[in-house]
Chain A
């Protein structure tokens, strides 16, 4: 029996999502754009799902655009807004701890004349807010700040940035891929113009996601050529997958408050026990508000890569940094951007809990860790 502690990478499909997915895939085939009965039924399925995504993100259903996942939402938001931005606005402001989808999309716009300003984080894992706000001048087309970090779980001050963007006419994009399903996603409180979420991070199918776009934000579609999604995203919708995504959003919304309490207790137990196993463990971002499910820890002198492999061989799934094209682990750019140095970046290991994690899973992990750490330290 394996212990799965990598919900921030992908969360297992929720039973509700599986049922909805299967039901939709077994229904008579119909293109949601067709006027016939089968088409109308498919349309009804995705509109039903849209309502669930809308209630998870506190936005009207008409603002929800289905995507193939988080990275598409990110690209559609940043490229779409920059494509239609006023010629005086040629700056993109992002935090340096954004997901690489955000960083790379922004950097790739250099050829189109955009300059990217990357704002580092402080040692507690929160973006340097003063510097972020100071960068929001009249030349900025779009600002991007994640709601919560994927590696540390640290919650970012999006509502402050949102207020400043609103008063300066800057489009504000929030990557809520990690936040959705783990903390409230509240578009109006954040004053976000665009929010991206991903299905598989909250127990929906992989290959699903949504971009929530406030009415009146000028942007061009990433995928043109169709009237689907109010001309914001061409292509026939992935009906069955979207049905599963909607069901996962519905379940996540319903369980949000209770799950936050349950996971926070499990996490507190995990962190307390990690300290008693290894007194020098560093829990990144622990002094900042964090998602209830994420523990990012460095065991000094032990490479994160080694520990994650040892855990895998022992039946536990955790992760470190992000994988590069060859599949090798690269040191975490997030821990680096927090100014904690190369050694901390190479030793960080992330345990992320979720809807399927039980107290028994955590206890089995804690029982296995001392031996794995001792061996890794000895050979390190």
Chain B
């Protein structure tokens, strides 16, 4: 047994398979782990998300066998439920738009899984994430950079790792394109080479919604009806519960209006969904909470950054001012559409991730809605 044992987190997909293959080629001693996150076998009604099916675990095991290292499936349902799914359900119930993938990285892959890896002698966890880690020789900190393949870049989802977590992580695919990864998988003869991309939330199966999953797991909040109001406070319709709404949503509101109406704010306190024309969706600034900085503990002053306010967002030029109390204020150069409380805002300087935080409720928008009543 060697001290350099590395754990590979294997979903059964092509990316983590190739991550394992690249490390195996370096003759690094490896151990593969797959996390069983959802759904026990339940007879005829058995359902799986797009992850965690016995087929995925079989694929992961086949890849590990082929590459010559042991593979185990870890039962992490409790951790996933407690640290990802329950907060996910809570966020919706509180009128927020959750980011479960960020929490899954911070609390599952690089916390619960890393702890289990350490317990069996592996000090690092490698994953198939597309992002680049690099040690800063000057500060000793581990820097996070966007992946070379901009289409696949997953650095957004990794901003909330601590420095210790980043130091224990390995992302062998950061410098590769998806095409190169597939070619590598084919060359290595991996059964997962042609497997389809996983999209969206891994724990939601085809043909169901995240609400179905929460309902099945007994996490659906009690539905509380409430009004849909315009910004003057006029009640336009009734809704069945705020968890069905997201900032920027247009469909499914059941409103007849000459100009299209969008959800511009959600007030969990009064169960009101506030709608308005598209122009009301734009914000010049927002506040983020639980701010994390990466190349340094705290910035010395205002930081000019490109800020991504959701995973699919290209990024907007902004100034980030750390308030020193765990929050920061982001001022965009141009107003941004659908800044959704609960989502992560991640700050970049080119490909370098400077940090990020969690978008706080927009008190002004709620205030406007409330004042109108």
Q: Is the pair B5, A313 in contact by a Cβ cutoff of 8 Å?
A: yes
Q: Is the pair A326, B70 in contact by a Cβ cutoff of 8 Å?
A: no
Complex contacts, A310 vs chain B, CB 8 Å = 119-121
B interface with A by C-beta (< 8 Å): 1, 5, 31, 36, 40-41, 52-54, 57, 61, 70, 72-75, 115-116, 118-121
- Contact (A379, B116) CB under 8 Å given A305-B75, A327-B73: yes
Which of chain B's residues has its CB closest to A330's CB? B75
- Contact (A375, B119) CB under 8 Å given A326-B52, A327-B61, A328-B75: yes
Q: Give CA–CA (A378, B31) in the complex, Å.
A: 19
- Contact (A313, B40) CB under 8 Å given A325-B54, A329-B75, A330-B75: no
- Contact (A326, B57) CB under 8 Å given A306-B116, A375-B119, A376-B119: yes
Q: Is A314 among interface residues, defined by CB-CB distance under 8 A?
A: yes
Q: Give CA–CA (A375, B121) in the complex, Å.
A: 7
Q: Give CA–CA (A378, B119) in the complex, Å.
A: 7
Query: B220 CB to closest chain A CB, in angstroms?
Result: 25
- Contact (A328, B73) CB under 8 Å given A313-B1, A314-B1: yes
Which of chain B's residues has its CB closest to A315's CB? B1
Q: Give CA–CA (A4, B72) in the complex, Å.
A: 18
Complex contacts, B72 vs chain A, CB 8 Å = 309, 327
Most buried by A among B31, B52, B53, B120: B120
Q: Give CA–CA (A313, B73) in the complex, Å.
A: 14
Q: Is the pair B75, A375 in contact by a Cβ cutoff of 8 Å?
A: no
Count A-B contacts at CB 8 Å.
58
Which of chain B's residues has its CB closest to A324's CB? B41
Query: A380 CB to closest chain B CB, in angstroms?
Result: 6
Q: Is the pair A306, B120 in contact by a Cβ cutoff of 8 Å?
A: yes
Query: B20 CB to closest chain A CB, in angstroms?
Result: 16
Q: Give CA–CA (A228, B281) in the complex, Å.
A: 78
- B-facing residues in A34-61 (Cβ within 8 Å): none
Binary per-residue interface labels of chain A (306-325) against chain B in the complex, 1 for a CB within 8 Å, 0 otherwise: 10011011100000000011
Q: Is the pair B36, A326 in contact by a Cβ cutoff of 8 Å?
A: yes
Complex contacts, B31 vs chain A, CB 8 Å = 309, 313
Q: Give CA–CA (A86, B363) in the complex, Å.
A: 73
Q: Give CA–CA (A86, B55) in the complex, Å.
A: 43
List, sorted by A's number, 7 A–B pairs whose CB atoms are closer than 8 Å. A306-B119, A310-B120, A313-B31, A326-B73, A376-B119, A378-B118, A379-B116
Q: Give CA–CA (A379, B121) in the complex, Å.
A: 9
Q: Give CA–CA (A362, B1) in the complex, Å.
A: 19
- Contact (A309, B40) CB under 8 Å given A326-B52, A326-B73: no
Q: Is the pair A379, B115 in contact by a Cβ cutoff of 8 Å?
A: yes
Q: Give CA–CA (A287, B52) in the complex, Å.
A: 41
Most buried by A among B1, B41, B115: B1
Which of chain A's residues has its CB closest to B75's CB? A328
Which of chain A's residues has its CB closest to B72's CB? A309
Complex contacts, A375 vs chain B, CB 8 Å = 118-121
Determine which of B70, B74, B115 lies in contact with A305 in the assembled complex, contact meaning CB atoms within 8 Å: B74
Which of chain B's residues has its CB closest to A346's CB? B75
- Contact (A379, B61) CB under 8 Å given A312-B70, A324-B41, A326-B54: no
Determine which of A309, A313, A327, A329 lies in contact with B57 in the assembled complex, contact meaning CB atoms within 8 Å: A327
Complex contacts, A313 vs chain B, CB 8 Å = 1, 5, 31, 70, 120-121
Complex contacts, A330 vs chain B, CB 8 Å = 75
Q: Is the pair A324, B57 in contact by a Cβ cutoff of 8 Å?
A: no
Which of chain B's residues has its CB closest to A311's CB? B120
Q: Is the pair A380, B57 in contact by a Cβ cutoff of 8 Å?
A: no
Query: B17 CB to closest chain A CB, in angstroms?
Result: 17
Which of chain A's residues has its CB closest to B36's CB? A328
- B-facing residues in A72-122 (Cβ within 8 Å): none
Q: Give CA–CA (A324, B75) in the complex, Å.
A: 10
Complex contacts, A378 vs chain B, CB 8 Å = 118-119
Complex contacts, A306 vs chain B, CB 8 Å = 116, 119-120
Complex contacts, B53 vs chain A, CB 8 Å = 326
Determine which of B1, B54, B120 lies in contact with A309 in the assembled complex, contact meaning CB atoms within 8 Å: B120
Query: A80 CB to closest chain B CB, in angstroms?
Result: 23
Complex contacts, B115 vs chain A, CB 8 Å = 379-380
Q: Give CA–CA (A250, B119) in the complex, Å.
A: 43
Query: A103 CB to closest chain B CB, in angstroms?
Result: 14
Given A313-B5, A380-B115, 14 other A-B residues pairs in contact with their CB atoms under 8 A: A309-B72, A313-B1, A313-B120, A324-B40, A326-B41, A327-B54, A328-B73, A328-B74, A375-B118, A375-B120, A375-B121, A379-B115, A379-B118, A379-B119
Q: Give CA–CA (A378, B74) in the complex, Å.
A: 19
Q: Give CA–CA (A314, B119) in the complex, Å.
A: 13
Most buried by A among B5, B73, B115: B73
Query: B37 CB to closest chain A CB, in angstroms?
Result: 10
Complex contacts, A328 vs chain B, CB 8 Å = 36, 73-75
Complex contacts, A314 vs chain B, CB 8 Å = 1
- B-facing residues in A321-359 (Cβ within 8 Å): 324-330
Q: Give CA–CA (A306, B72) in the complex, Å.
A: 10
Query: A302 CB to closest chain B CB, in angstroms?
Result: 8
Query: B4 CB to closest chain A CB, in angstroms?
Result: 13
Complex contacts, B73 vs chain A, CB 8 Å = 326-328
Complex contacts, B41 vs chain A, CB 8 Å = 324-326
Query: B122 CB to closest chain A CB, in angstroms?
Result: 9
